[in-house]
Chains A and B, each alone.
Chain A
Amino acid sequence: MSDKIDRDDVSGTETTGHEWDGIKELDTPLPRWWLYIFYASIVAAVIYWVLMPAWPLANGYTRGLLNWSDRRIVAAEVHALEASRAPMFNRLAQASTADLARDPELQEFARAAGESAFGDNCQTCHGAGGAGSTGYPVLADDVWLWGGSLDEIEHTIRVGIRSGHPDARISQMPAFGRDHMLTVDQIGNVTEYVISMSAARERLQADARVAALGAQIYQEQCAVCHGATGAGDRVVGAPSLLDDVWLYGGSREEIRRQIDLGRNGVMPTWERRFDDGTIRALAYYVHQMGGGEPDVVAPAPAQTAAPAPGIDQGQGSGAGADATP
């Protein structure tokens, strides 16, 4: 170590002054551009501390001269977004079914708003796109327990099923086995009878002899809700037993188990959670999945007349999702 500056003979660069077994280390200066950026960064940091929220304090933080808050900005943006959508939600809430059928712009809005609300709230049970699963009805098909018109769907969303709402839709499938209302043999017989009356009779190869044994039990115990022919009754929410669609599974064992245990699902009421516009949007979204019942939705006049471009396009088309001005 020496005090005087030592220079390397070859490169002419200063050394650090250290020497290890004759090896010296060059003290190559930092590139100037690097150094300038380094100084500029220090200056920028100090300016940042003054202007922006920077230092944590015991309870709070330094707010900076600009009083910047990302949280406030996001809140303002969300508020602005809600405000910009409010007119459409109001229009939707006040629109009649016929109004909606005539208005592609409103349909597109309802579909988008409905899809968003459905994804956040309904999809957990009913599945994406209303795919459903065991115990949770498929919403995309044309099988409805309580009715598949826009009004009926909307009412179901409002009051829920066995939800505790005063007007909730309530049906009660008894647990015939668990509550000892029927014997194991009787349940087996009535299961075979139900299969024999349904569209699953060939798939499950219903045993006609056993089914005949269940016929009388069916008429005594089941027909009051499901109807004498098994057509079901939407007034009491009793499903049709004629098709091959089964809420709790379509195998012989699954059908038998539902008669045995009589499971009854619950859907919450959404009336208190959503405004009228959102509920209408949800109803519309579910209705347009493909199984919505058209007889109650009054068709727009143009739909029955000759093709009238621009009017009878139904939802989705032409509302300009990708349209440019």
Chain B
Amino acid sequence: MGKVTLIDRRGGDEQHGIEAEAVNSKTARALYAKRQQIYPKLAHGFFRNLKWTAMVVLLAIYYVTPWIRWDRGIGRPDQAVLIDFEGRRFFFFFIELWPQEVYYIVGLLVLASFGIFLSSALFGRVWCGYACPQTVWTDLYIYVERWIEGDRNERMRLAKAPLSLDKVRKKISKHTLWLAIAAATGGAWVFYFADAPTLFGQIFTGQASATVYLFIGLLTFTTYSLAGTMREQVCTYMCPWPRIQAAMTDQHALSVTYRADRGEPRGPHKKNETWEGRGDCIDCRQCVAVCPQGIDIRDGDQLECINCALCIDACDEIMVKVGRPKGLIAYDTHVNVEKRERGEAAGIHLMRPRTVLYAVLMVLVGVIMTYALVTRSTLDLNVIRDRSPPFVRLAGGDMRNDYALKLINMAPRARHVRISVSGVDGAHFISNGHRVDANGEIQVDAQPDAVSNVRVHVVAPSDIGAGSHRLRFTIIDTATGEQAGSASVFFAGAAP
């Protein structure tokens, strides 16, 4: 058992140096290498605080959302956000969507895609660094780990220490807390699919369905294993985003960058030594120690890097201590690094064809979605023509076609509607238990928040000619005048 060296003598500056090997550094990277545990050191600074804030806000959204109430009237779910599989509805505050309106979800996904494209083109992998659930939960798990086992050095020492009561106690506490968080994660997930307060009681009294327990178990397992034990491997090996990333960014995209133009040549620096003829990087390896992905940012852009910017905080702290300007590691672009190396003026170009296009597309999709949502009709009609028999020849020679009408009433109240048919001369409804009024229209009730099935028979005179004739069904709400229509055909057969 080797003694852990806390201070790296190679680092030169004894106050700042640390022994930290980037386990995933470019040189150490091997396909068949066994995974080495990473012990990220706690960073302090602007980006660490930003990440704490993002973590708290995102976790709060996740855990609190199912508990927000939203009054929709008696007998209707009062949960603001509810994916009701059983009732086949999606509730989102004032919006209620039916399964056939899934294109709104598609629109939302398109919007999210362009959003992530845009953010990547502007600021690199900000999603990975701040908002991805893998990042958020891993951050939370590392926080718990640090709280129980201490910071980097103490954790490393504990890992190497022989089995003792204290070690067992710490390990058990950590894993218990992790499992509790994991269970709470799975527990919160199921609340999105059922009434949260009711389900909450059911879960603890054993009355919830097997599906509920299965999903809680599943998400407990994935949370615990992904955030607790697998961590950076998820980003490196499992997630497709790092591969897609290459197409989403370009040399103008901001990303966490080691400014080699300023840092090199790197090397240890002693107090009162001159900074002339050398770079600002004192090779203290703090940026490596804080990295949750186990890389050395000074190797440049890497697949493993999630752009969490913690190395910026670590480096800035050192730069302040050694009296050099901050920003040796910073959000910067490849182009800028190259420009400065050539002695040209650097600049940031957020307005580029790519970013403008993404932004325009986002606005476009957003406008289309908003328009669709605002003008969304709560009355719709689907017509399914009977395929067998394709037509019926009546004793008098007339032709009859039969249709199944689906009156879709998305409003939470019953509506009285008139059904009319048009497009074929002489085509009219015949009674089939429905009252056909003096105008030749059928009047029925459309049940609230439901699809009402109405079978209708349409008869056309014998002389309309064989073949398909265009036909249109229209329904009109007798109270509000709201309309919906659907096209179909009337098929007349040839002579027997």
Please report A residues at the B interface, Cβ cutoff 8 Å.
11, 13, 28, 101, 107-108, 127-132, 138, 140-143, 199-200, 203, 240, 243-246, 249-251, 288-291, 294, 303, 307, 309-310, 312-325
Contact = CB atoms under 8 A, between A and B. Distances in A.
Contact of A323 (B416, B431, B450, B455): B450
A312 B435 contact: yes
A96 to B, nearest CB: 16
B414 interface: yes
A320 B450 contact: yes
A141 B32 contact: no
A132 B388 CA distance: 10
Contacts of B330: none
B87 interface: yes
18 contacts: A101-B433, A107-B433, A108-B453, A128-B388, A128-B389, A203-B495, A240-B395, A288-B433, A288-B455, A307-B443, A310-B445, A312-B435, A313-B445, A315-B433, A317-B445, A317-B452, A318-B447, A325-B87
B414 A309 contact: yes
Contacts of B435: 303, 307, 312
A303 B389 CA distance: 28
A294 B395 contact: no
Given A138-B389, A314-B433, A324 B87 contact: yes
B393 interface: yes
B453 A317 contact: yes
A325 B416 CA distance: 19
Given A131-B388, A245-B496, A323-B447, 11 more contacts: A11-B32, A129-B389, A129-B402, A243-B395, A243-B397, A288-B433, A291-B392, A314-B434, A314-B455, A315-B433, A322-B451
Contact of A321 (B394, B400, B451, B495): B451
Nearest to A32: B34
Contact of B402 (A140, A249, A309, A314): A140
A127 B391 CA distance: 13
A128 B437 CA distance: 31
Contacts, number: 133
A318 B495 contact: no
Instruction: Name the interface size band of chain B.
Output: 35 or more
Nearest to A310: B445
Contacts of A141: 392-395, 400
Contacts of A321: 451, 453
B467 interface: no
A303 B433 contact: yes
A249 B88 CA distance: 49
Contacts of A291: 392, 394
Contacts of A323: 447, 449-452
A316 B453 contact: yes
A309 B417 CA distance: 10
Contacts of A294: 431
Contact of B455 (A11, A130, A142, A316): A316
Nearest to B449: A324
Contacts of B226: none
A324 B437 CA distance: 30
A324 B88 contact: yes
Contact of B389 (A11, A108, A140, A245): A140
A132 B392 CA distance: 10
Interface in B2-35: 32
Interface string B396-412: 11001010101100000
